[in-house]
Amino acid sequence: MMKDLTNPPIDRIDGRMKVTGGAQYFADFDLPNTAYCVIVGSEIARGSIASLDTKKALGAPGVLGVFTHQNMPPIPGWDAPVGGEADGPAPKPKTEETYRILSSPKILFDGQPIAIVVADTFERATYAASLVKATYTKQPTRTDLHKHVSDGVAPKGAEGGNYLRGKADAYQTAPVTLEANYTIPVEVHNPMELHGILAHWTAANTLMIYAKTQGVNATQQAMAQAFKLDPKNIHVHTEFMGGGFGMGLRTWPQETAVVAIARKINRPLKLVVSRSQMFTLVGHRPYTVQTINMGADRDGKLIGIAHAATAETASYEDFTEATVNMTKFMYACPNVSTRYRLVRLDRSVPIWMRGPGEATGAFALESAMDEMAHKLNLDPIEFRLRNYTETDPEHNRPYSSKHLKEAYQRGAEAIGWKNRKNEPGSVREGDWLIGYGMSTGTFNAFRWEASARILLKADGSLTIQSAVTDIGPGTGTALTMIAHNVLGVPVDRIKVEYGDTSLPKAPTQGGSAIVSAVGSAVYDACTAIKTELAGLALRAGGPLAGQQADELTLADGVLSVEKEPKKKVAVSDLMQANNLTVLDKTKDSKGGPELGKYSMYSFSVHFVQVRVNPQTGVVRVTKAVSVADSGRIVSPKTAASQMIGGVAGGIGMALTEEAIIDHRFGRFVNNNLADYHVAVHADVPAIETIMIDKPDPIINPMGAKGMGEIALIGFAGAVANAVFNATGQRVRDLPITPDKVMQKLA
Amino acid sequence: MNQHEHTGGESASADSSRRSFLKQSSALAALVLTPPTAMAAADQGLDEKMAAAFEQMPLQVNVNGTAHRLSIEPRVTLLDLLREQLHLTGTKKGCDHGQCGACTVHVDGARVNACLTLAMTTEGSTVTTIEGLADGGPTGALHPMQAAFIKHDGFQCGYCTPGQIMSAVACIREGHANSPDEVREYMSGNICRCGAYANIVDAIMDVKKGGAKV
Ligand code: FES
Ligand code: FES
CATH (domain of A486): 3.30.365.10
- Say how far apart CA A638 and CA A515 lie, in whole Å: 12
The pLDDT score that the predictor gives to residue A157 is 66
User: Residue B92 CA: which ligand 1 atom is closest?
Assistant: 1
Is residue B4 predicted with pLDDT exceeding 60?
Answer: no
Residues A610 and A579 in one domain: no
The pLDDT score that the predictor gives to residue A354 is 96
Q: Which ligand is nearest to the CA of B193?
A: 2
Instruction: Indicate yes or no: CB of A123 within 8 angstroms of CB of B73.
Output: yes
Residue B44: pLDDT band with limits 50, 70, 90: low
Instruction: Give per-residue pLDDT as tens, B175-197.
Output: 999 999 999 999 999 999 999 99
Closest C-alpha to ligand 2, atom 3: B192
User: Residue A678 is nearest to which of B96, B129, B193, comparing CB atoms?
Assistant: B193
Is the backbone of residue A396 left (phi > 0), alpha (psi -120 to 50) or beta? left
User: Residue A192 is nearest to which of B88, B102, B142, comparing CB atoms?
Assistant: B102
Question: For testing the chain B interface, which of A470, A620, A681, A712 should be mutated: the one with the most B CBs within 10 Å?
Answer: A681
Is residue B30 predicted with pLDDT exceeding 60?
Answer: no
Residues B121 and B69 in one domain: yes
Instruction: Give per-residue pLDDT as tens, A446-496.
Output: 988 999 999 999 999 999 999 999 899 999 999 999 999 999 999 999 999
Residues A475 and A530 in one domain: yes
Is residue A88 predicted with pLDDT exceeding 50?
Answer: no
Question: For testing the chain B interface, which of A13, A18, A210 should be mutated: the one with the most B CBs within 10 Å?
Answer: A18
- Ligand 1 center to residue A684 CA distance, Å? 21
Residue after which a domain boundary falls, among A557, A590, A623: A590
Residues B44 and B68 in one domain: no
The pLDDT score that the predictor gives to residue A159 is 55
- φ/ψ (deg, to 5) at B116: -100, 5
Beta bridge partner(s), residue A568: A560
The pLDDT score that the predictor gives to residue B49 is 65
Q: Specify if A155 maps to a domain.
A: no
Question: For testing the chain A interface, which of B57, B92, B157 should be mutated: the one with the most A CBs within 10 Å?
Answer: B157
Residues B47 and B61 in one domain: no
- Say how far apart CA B28 and CA B142 lie, in whole Å: 50
User: Residue A673 CA: which ligand 1 atom is closest?
Assistant: 4
Query: Is-catalytic flag, A709?
Result: yes
Is residue A82 predicted with pLDDT exceeding 70?
Answer: no
The pLDDT score that the predictor gives to residue B19 is 42
Is residue B32 predicted with pLDDT exceeding 60?
Answer: no
Is residue A612 predicted with pLDDT exceeding 70?
Answer: yes
- Say how far apart CA A604 and CA A380 lie, in whole Å: 15
The pLDDT score that the predictor gives to residue A514 is 87
The pLDDT score that the predictor gives to residue A79 is 59
Ligand 2 pocket member B54 (CB < 6 A): no
Is the backbone of residue B158 left (phi > 0), alpha (psi -120 to 50) or beta? left
CA-closest candidate to residue A75, choices A304, A238, A228, A241: A228
Instruction: Indicate yes or no: CB of B7 within 8 angstroms of CB of A120.
Output: yes
The pLDDT score that the predictor gives to residue B6 is 34
Residue after which a domain boundary falls, among A555, A590, A625: A590
Residues B127 and B59 in one domain: yes
Residues A416 and A456 in one domain: no
Residue A739: pLDDT band with limits 50, 70, 90: very high
Angle between helices A715-727 and A636-655 in degrees, nearest 10: 50
The pLDDT score that the predictor gives to residue A85 is 39
Q: Which ligand is nearest to the CA of A25?
A: 2
Residues A412 and A509 in one domain: no
Residues A51 and A125 in one domain: yes
Q: Are A441 and A714 in contact (CB under 8 A)?
A: yes
Residue after which a domain boundary falls, among B132, B164, B193: B132
Query: Total structural domains in chain A?
Result: 3
Ligand 1 pocket member B171 (CB < 6 A): no
Q: Specify if A302 maps to a domain.
A: yes
Structural domain harbouring B110: 55-132
Average pLDDT over residues A171-183: 98
Q: How much is the mean pLDDT over chain A?
A: 94
Instruction: Indicate yes or no: CB of B185 within 8 angstroms of CB of A681.
Output: yes
The pLDDT score that the predictor gives to residue A509 is 86
Residues A621 and A658 in one domain: yes
Residues A353 and A274 in one domain: no
> What is the percent of chain A with per-residue pLDDT over 70, rounded to a whole number?
96
Instruction: Give me the CATH number covering residue A207.
Output: 3.90.1170.50
Average pLDDT over residues A581-590: 94
Residues B144 and B205 in one domain: yes
User: Residue A192 CA: which ligand 2 atom is closest?
Assistant: 3
Residues A580 and A614 in one domain: no
Average pLDDT over residues A693-714: 95
Residue A414: pLDDT band with limits 50, 70, 90: very high
Is residue B20 predicted with pLDDT exceeding 80?
Answer: no
- Say how far apart CA A267 and CA A118 lie, in whole Å: 11
Q: Specify if A163 maps to a domain.
A: no
User: Residue B93 is nearest to which of A33, A194, A685, comparing CB atoms?
Assistant: A194
* ipTM confidence score: 0.95
The pLDDT score that the predictor gives to residue A208 is 98
Instruction: Give me the CATH number covering residue B94.
Output: 3.10.20.30
> What is the percent of chain A with per-residue pLDDT over 90, rounded to a whole number?
89
Residue after which a domain boundary falls, among B111, B132, B153: B132
Instruction: Give per-residue pLDDT as tens, B67-107.
Output: 999 999 999 999 999 999 999 999 999 999 999 999 999 99
Helix/strand/coil for A511:
coil
Instruction: Give me the CATH number covering residue B145.
Output: 1.10.150.120
Residues B81 and B149 in one domain: no
Residues B105 and B71 in one domain: yes
Average pLDDT over residues A207-217: 96
Q: Are A372 and A724 in contact (CB under 8 A)?
A: no
Residue after which a domain boundary falls, among A540, A556, A590: A590
Residues B31 and B78 in one domain: no
Is residue B1 predicted with pLDDT exceeding 90?
Answer: no
Q: Specify if A211 maps to a domain.
A: yes
Helix/strand/coil for A319:
coil
Average pLDDT over residues B17-42: 46
Instruction: Give per-residue pLDDT as tens, A620-671.
Output: 999 999 999 999 999 999 999 999 999 999 999 999 999 999 999 999 999 9
Residues B61 and B118 in one domain: yes
Q: Specify if A679 maps to a domain.
A: yes
Instruction: Indicate yes or no: CB of A193 within 8 angstroms of CB of B97.
Output: no
Residue B3: pLDDT band with limits 50, 70, 90: very low
Ligand 1 pocket member B115 (CB < 6 A): yes
Q: Are A316 and A109 in contact (CB under 8 A)?
A: no
Higher pLDDT, A176 or B3: A176
Structural domain harbouring A106: 26-140+193-243+248-279
Q: Are A279 and A668 in contact (CB under 8 A)?
A: yes
Is residue A259 predicted with pLDDT exceeding 70?
Answer: yes
Query: Total structural domains in chain B?
Result: 3
The pLDDT score that the predictor gives to residue A97 is 82
Higher pLDDT, A592 or A654: A654
Residues A441 and A454 in one domain: no
Residue A140: pLDDT band with limits 50, 70, 90: very high
Instruction: Give per-residue pLDDT as tens, A287-308.
Output: 999 999 999 999 999 999 999 9
